[in-house]
Chains A and B, each alone.
Chain A
């Protein structure tokens, strides 16, 4: 007993010294970890944050910015990356795709950032992609998206369409005996591609199921009465809705006003996270099913820590949606990859990315696939009145990302 106490006492000062000593000893020389002139010094490394904080997308992208800043703060508190504290330069994409391209170029060419956490809409990603490929930058992109893309210079931390869609459809067919589906979407590439995958799956990969309608609405559209009438006439087993942004508010309110009760009528969405429900109102969407990889209510120790830290930093009232969580993964995955590669060089980071795993992910566990997307579980949540989701199903295994799905194109 006494001996143990003594040893403990002796260990104390040593333990206090250890991190500092280890810090100096472990830290590799800047010239060795940065051979391409990135913004890396002996003590710091600079990354970029590129989201819209003004304009129509600001509402959606703010959560991502907050999550990225939280991750950076936590990484710095735990000793940084290769012994270097992360500094960030934030730029505003202004909800305008060309501005995204301009700012991406500025971050890469002028600021020489080691990586960029950023973009939200597919349009902004498409606008910056050539910039990242030309100037060899590294982008961590958080949004669930349509797939059909794969780049050495991008890590997609959200789900691509097949990951998000297929498990959810399988579940609702098995669990609810659904036979007929009505597909809805906002009119742009993500909903269209996603519904294409859903249709192929319903028609070719499931048995006895069919699509009874498919309609698209311009972005920002607020008139859904005619389609709601058609839904009432066709009585589909499932309304499959991929409506985005402000249109959601009108759509769910009008559904409710038309007397469609979501506790009796199945509705599945892949576009409404907790963030969107704040605008829609929990009472308008309660009992709808959402299919994605993360819900704030997820019960695991990682997530409880993450939610607590997020609320501590950004306020009790903040909610965390799927994309916010995916944005949080960006800085962490980058840190882990840099440490695996032992270098900040973009080529080495890109090459080291496959099989990097992050066990501290709030969603549980993620691993980077050689195609630069993430292995992740897919979950189905049922919306509650208070704007949160109850997780009612999760896939047993990690879903493999498949951005160019055979048989679905």
Chain B
């Protein structure tokens, strides 16, 4: 088989296919067999964070745009879904003890007497699904155009995204009559009549999340293997050269930022469905930074690394906090420091240095097959 030919005809190399299949087997066969329903639901929650991490690999690892505001998009996606579910849960029968039956309970507590106009479309599931992806992507488009067209980048961009995350949290908390405030939107019950709180529903939602995640991963591979993906990497490593070659750098940046936002939003919507509520604590600065940590632990240049990073960090978080309620934050902190100091390229870096060459040797290959995926950062450095 000729390696180059396979790259041109199909964007996934044989090794990529194997790696993605392994991920699929791990999350869709091994986890469901190994865990009870409660643990599996927790994994389902971690999987939704993996969406954000995959987006960050595209945005930060590939294109070099560090966003400290992914919580914005995760949150908007989650809130859009929560609005639909909340409306369904607030039927006049369910809310007859309120002064105004038929509106969400928190609106009633805040003396609202009618459903605000921007809530109306969320009666429709089709609109909600559309809004889950479109609203965050649109917001990312606006932020991206405003920033990248003016050549705001690097640290400044990171700080501005963080500011947006803070602003959105303040907005949500401040407008509690419309958003549920600090409490968030709680007590979500059914999705078009289907009770999402049952174990069976959690099981189904888990698999839907897994499939969507695999879909996002494959899409990310496709983008990375395309010419577009190569321009992104070129931009990360030498932005001016790309600009002088006649490309409009800003457009590519806006595109990848919107893509990352859309991924995060899908994660947010699945999060709401599986956890059963949404709150501003998933929108602000802290979750946004946590998402970056997931990505860093997994390895910011590897899509699959980021997925494993998201799973591993959250596993650690849950187990540490269950076993050592007083000390778990210290343990988690130590884990991050260890990763950054010992393996700056994260899990994916470890894999590339230690495991991948051995597998190749085992399979009797001298060098890794030329693949469509992005070469590690060290390689690009030397080829400059």
On A, residues with C-beta under 8 Å from B are 53-54, 90-92, 94, 96-99, 101-103, 105-106, 109-110, 121-123, 126-127, 129-130, 134, 146, 148, 187-189, 192-193, 196, 218-219, 404, 409
A404 contact set on B, CB distance < 8 A: 97
**A53 is contacted by which of B182, B282, B326 (Cβ under 8 Å)?**
B326
A341–B174 alpha-carbon span in the complex (Å): 45
Could you pull out 17 A-B pairs where Cβ atoms are within 8 angstroms? A92-B321, A92-B325, A94-B321, A101-B277, A102-B318, A106-B322, A109-B37, A123-B182, A123-B279, A127-B279, A129-B186, A129-B187, A134-B197, A146-B109, A189-B110, A189-B182, A218-B174
Q: Are A130 and B279 in contact (CB under 8 A)?
A: no
B183 contact set on A, CB distance < 8 A: 97, 122-123, 126-127, 188-189
Q: Which of chain B's residues has its CB closest to A188's CB?
A: B182
A196–B183 alpha-carbon span in the complex (Å): 18
A148–B110 alpha-carbon span in the complex (Å): 12
Task: Kindly state whether residue B275 has any CB partner on chain A within 8 Å.
Answer: yes
Q: Which of chain B's residues has its CB closest to A130's CB?
A: B187
* Most chain A Cβ neighbours within 10 Å, of B41, B173, B276, B326: B276
The 4 closest A-B pairs by CB, nearest first: A92-B325, A123-B183, A126-B186, A109-B38
* Most chain A Cβ neighbours within 10 Å, of B45, B111, B174, B321: B321
A53–B110 alpha-carbon span in the complex (Å): 31
A36–B325 alpha-carbon span in the complex (Å): 28
A127–B188 alpha-carbon span in the complex (Å): 10
Q: Are A98 and B277 in contact (CB under 8 A)?
A: yes
Known: A90-B325, A106-B322, A189-B109. A219 touches B182 (CB 8 A): yes
A218–B172 alpha-carbon span in the complex (Å): 11
Q: Are A97 and B184 in contact (CB under 8 A)?
A: yes
Contacting A at CB under 8 A, from B3-51, are 36-38, 41-42, 45
**A92 is contacted by which of B109, B281, B328 (Cβ under 8 Å)?**
B328
Contacting A at CB under 8 A, from B138-191, are 170, 173-174, 176, 181-184, 186-189
B45 contact set on A, CB distance < 8 A: 102
How many residues of chain B are within 8 Å of chain A by beta carbon?
Answer: 38
Task: Kindly state whether residue B329 has any CB partner on chain A within 8 Å.
Answer: yes
B222 contact set on A, CB distance < 8 A: none
A148–B187 alpha-carbon span in the complex (Å): 15
Task: Kindly state whether residue B99 has any CB partner on chain A within 8 Å.
Answer: yes
A189 contact set on B, CB distance < 8 A: 106, 109-110, 176, 181-183
A118–B326 alpha-carbon span in the complex (Å): 16
Q: Are A193 and B170 in contact (CB under 8 A)?
A: no
Known: A98-B282, A106-B38, A130-B197. A192 touches B174 (CB 8 A): no
Q: Are A187 and B173 in contact (CB under 8 A)?
A: yes
A102–B317 alpha-carbon span in the complex (Å): 12
Q: Which of chain B's residues has its CB closest to A55's CB?
A: B329
B298: shortest Cβ distance to chain A, in Å?
22
A140–B329 alpha-carbon span in the complex (Å): 27
A218–B181 alpha-carbon span in the complex (Å): 11
A130–B184 alpha-carbon span in the complex (Å): 13
Given contacts A127-B279, A189-B182, 10 further A-B contacts (CB under 8 A): A54-B326, A54-B328, A54-B329, A97-B184, A101-B275, A126-B184, A187-B173, A189-B176, A196-B111, A409-B99
Q: Are A97 and B279 in contact (CB under 8 A)?
A: yes
Q: Which of chain B's residues has its CB closest to A90's CB?
A: B325
A93–B281 alpha-carbon span in the complex (Å): 13
Q: Are A97 and B326 in contact (CB under 8 A)?
A: no
Q: Which of chain B's residues has its CB closest to A110's CB?
A: B38
Q: Are B173 and A219 in contact (CB under 8 A)?
A: yes
A127 contact set on B, CB distance < 8 A: 183-184, 186, 277, 279
B42 contact set on A, CB distance < 8 A: 102
B 85-99 binary contact with A (CB < 8 Å = 1; else 0): 000000000000101
Q: Are B99 and A218 in contact (CB under 8 A)?
A: no
Q: Which of chain B's residues has its CB closest to A193's CB?
A: B109
A279: shortest Cβ distance to chain B, in Å?
20
**B109 is contacted by which of A97, A105, A110, A148 (Cβ under 8 Å)?**
A148
Q: Which of chain A's residues has its CB closest to B195's CB?
A: A134
A92–B282 alpha-carbon span in the complex (Å): 18
